[in-house]
Amino acid sequence: MKPLHLALLILLLATCVSLAQTPAPDMTIVKAARLLDVKTGKYMEGQAVLVRGGLITAVGAFSELQKQAPDAAVIDLHNATLLPGLIDCHTHLLQNYDPEVGEDDNMALTVSGMSTASRALLGAKMGKEDVEAGITTVRDLGNSGVTGDVALRNAIRAGWVVGPRMAVSTRALSAAGGQFGSLQTGAQSVVAQEYVVVGNPNAARDAVQQAFYDGADLIKVIVNTGPRVIAPDTMKAIVEEAHRVHRKVAAHAIGDDATRIAAEAGVDSIEHGYVIPDDVLKIMAAKHIYLVPTDYPPETYAAMSKSSAALPPEVQKQRQERFRRIAESNHERLRRAVAAGVPIAFGSDEYYDIPGFTRGQSSLKPFESYAQSGMTPLEIIQAATIHAADLLAVNHLGSIEKDKGADLIAVEGDPLKDITVLERVRFVMLKGKVVRNDLK
Ligand SMILES: [Zn+2]
């Protein structure tokens, strides 16, 4: 044997021996001062979680779990509170708008100027920021080019990049023009890169089939954009076709007509619904249709808009007043929805690059708006965990229980007293792997 070959053989043997001597512990016990049972709203003191292969295999006293798994690695989070990973039911990871550019121009620039590949890479960054802030699952609702969302979801599943668990819709179904502002005839071909226009029930059925062929987990419909509203029979065809294969439908709908068309067709969630009449709320409660309130505090609306620093003081004041009125109107309709018994799931609809915030951090701002509407911290946490899991049909997520996915977050402070502690997540475990730990 040549000396070089011998050296390589020795190196190989040495590597094998060292691998055999230090097996990676495949079990982990996560220990914290207390754990929140999101179903009952009760803290469980002195409990720990045993994690194996990405699953929670036991919840119990630390000493008991150590007896069960003496070789498990231990992560001690000391005085922190453990919660299940958060679920954002309305994301757009593949776009990041510039607040200095208007909404219509942002869309035109993004769709015509960025390739789907480029948007998927942007989505990888946004997704990582979501996870780092504690959002371990998202339902990504379009504005992702042609199947860019599928590419990102699959890359995350394959472990190519770190990102949240994703359910994706591919291109949203819409009336003519999608959500674009006015485009000249020659430029309108760009619409098909972002939306599938469905003008009648047959086109709607074809579009639903195509979405599933393209890799969609669910269907997103833009029920209205200005005066362009999907017709009731077309909406019914969409829901029928998706439900026939046990997939869900998320409906962007705002105002009396659009929310009624969506609710009567039997969609699974109404997104935004900034204006919803009481009779539609009644239908939603009766049919268990979720409202996903994508509401923000006034100062976040301001941060998502063009800077007003150069404007005269009286114009700045008018703007602030406008954002305050929008927020108040949102509060009023969320109060009516909760009182009517409509189930609520958290959704951020965040797609702006807000200075000083990661995507994940700004995505949690709706919690403050929900709290201002009168939802209790527990109701908000449930909207972002078990209720969101119900809407996404991911019942293996959303709470810390045996046999559920090991998506855990930890915070300092008491989230049942102050919901804003969730804006400062200190520890994140995703599928049993630690993504972040500031509590060492
Ligand atoms: Zn949206």
Query: For residue 203, with 0-12 CB atoms within 10 Å meaning exposed, 13-18 middle and 19 or more buried, which class applies?
Result: middle
Which pLDDT does position 25 carry in this prediction? 63
CA of 42 to the centre of ligand 1 (A): 33
Determine the Cα–Cα distance for residues 63 and 336; give it in Å rounded to an integer. 47
Indicate the SS3 state at residue 162: coil
Q: Interhelix angle for 278-287 vs 313-339, to 10°? A: 50
CA of 349 to the centre of ligand 1 (A): 5
CA of 9 to the centre of ligand 1 (A): 57
Sort strands 290-292 and 269-272 into parallel, antiparallel or unpaired: parallel
Say which amino acid occupies 322. Answer: R
pLDDT class of 44 with cuts at 50, 70, 90: very high
Examine the pLDDT at 97 and tell me if it is beyond 90: yes
List b or e across 80-90, with b for residues whose CB sees 16 or more CB atoms inside 10 angstroms. bbbbbbbbbbb
State the average pLDDT over residues 34-63: 96
State the average pLDDT over residues 284-292: 98
- Retrieve residue 145's tokens: 């080019």
pLDDT class of 6 with cuts at 50, 70, 90: low
Q: How many CB atoms lie within 10 A of CB 299?
A: 14
Examine the pLDDT at 369 and tell me if it is beyond 70: yes
Which pLDDT does position 7 carry in this prediction? 56
CA of 409 to the centre of ligand 1 (A): 25
- Average pLDDT of every residue of the chain: 94
CA of 91 to the centre of ligand 1 (A): 7
CA of 23 to the centre of ligand 1 (A): 45
State the average pLDDT over residues 268-293: 98
CA of 89 to the centre of ligand 1 (A): 10
Which pLDDT does position 125 carry in this prediction? 98
pLDDT by residue (tens digit) across 191-217? Answer: 999 999 999 999 999 999 999 999 999
State the average pLDDT over residues 268-272: 98
pLDDT by residue (tens digit) across 137-176? Answer: 999 999 999 999 999 999 999 999 999 999 999 999 999 9
- For 395, residues 6+ apart whose C-beta sits below 8 A from its C-beta are 389
CA of 294 to the centre of ligand 1 (A): 8
- Retrieve residue 82's tokens: 């453990």
Long-range Cβ contact pairs of 246-250 (< 8 A, separation 24 or more): 247/212, 247/216, 247/217, 247/218, 247/219, 248/218, 248/219, 248/391, 248/392, 248/393, 249/218, 249/219, 249/220, 249/221, 250/89, 250/90, 250/139, 250/141, 250/169, 250/218, 250/219, 250/220, 250/221, 250/292
In this structure, of 1-10, 33-42, 87-96, 278-287, the range with the lowest mean pLDDT score is 1-10
Examine the pLDDT at 77 and tell me if it is beyond 60: yes
CA of 141 to the centre of ligand 1 (A): 6
- For 390, residues 6+ apart whose C-beta sits below 8 A from its C-beta are 343, 345, 398
CA of 438 to the centre of ligand 1 (A): 32
CA of 230 to the centre of ligand 1 (A): 17
Determine the Cα–Cα distance for residues 85 and 77; give it in Å rounded to an integer. 16
Q: What percent of the chain is modeled with pLDDT above 70?
A: 94
Neighbours of ion ligand 1 (CB under 5 A): 349
Phi-psi region of 36 (alpha: psi -120 to 50; beta: other; left: phi over 0): beta
Q: Which of 133, 131, 18, 109 is nearest to 411 (CA)?
A: 133
Element (H, E) at 325: helix 313-339
CA of 240 to the centre of ligand 1 (A): 23
CA of 245 to the centre of ligand 1 (A): 24
pLDDT by residue (tens digit) across 309-360? Answer: 889 999 999 999 999 999 999 999 999 999 999 999 999 999 999 999 999 9
CA of 269 to the centre of ligand 1 (A): 13
Which pLDDT does position 24 carry in this prediction? 52
- Retrieve residue 61's tokens: 């006293």
The phi, psi pair for 117, rounded to 5°, reads: -60, -45
- For 380, residues 6+ apart whose C-beta sits below 8 A from its C-beta are 346, 367, 370, 371, 419
CA of 293 to the centre of ligand 1 (A): 11
CA of 279 to the centre of ligand 1 (A): 24
CA of 252 to the centre of ligand 1 (A): 7
CA of 11 to the centre of ligand 1 (A): 54
Which pLDDT does position 8 carry in this prediction? 53
State the average pLDDT over residues 58-86: 97
CA of 214 to the centre of ligand 1 (A): 20
Examine the pLDDT at 185 and tell me if it is beyond 70: yes
Examine the pLDDT at 9 and tell me if it is beyond 80: no
CA of 250 to the centre of ligand 1 (A): 10
CA of 262 to the centre of ligand 1 (A): 16
Which pLDDT does position 21 carry in this prediction? 47
Which pLDDT does position 19 carry in this prediction? 47
Q: How many CB atoms lie within 10 A of CB 249?
A: 25
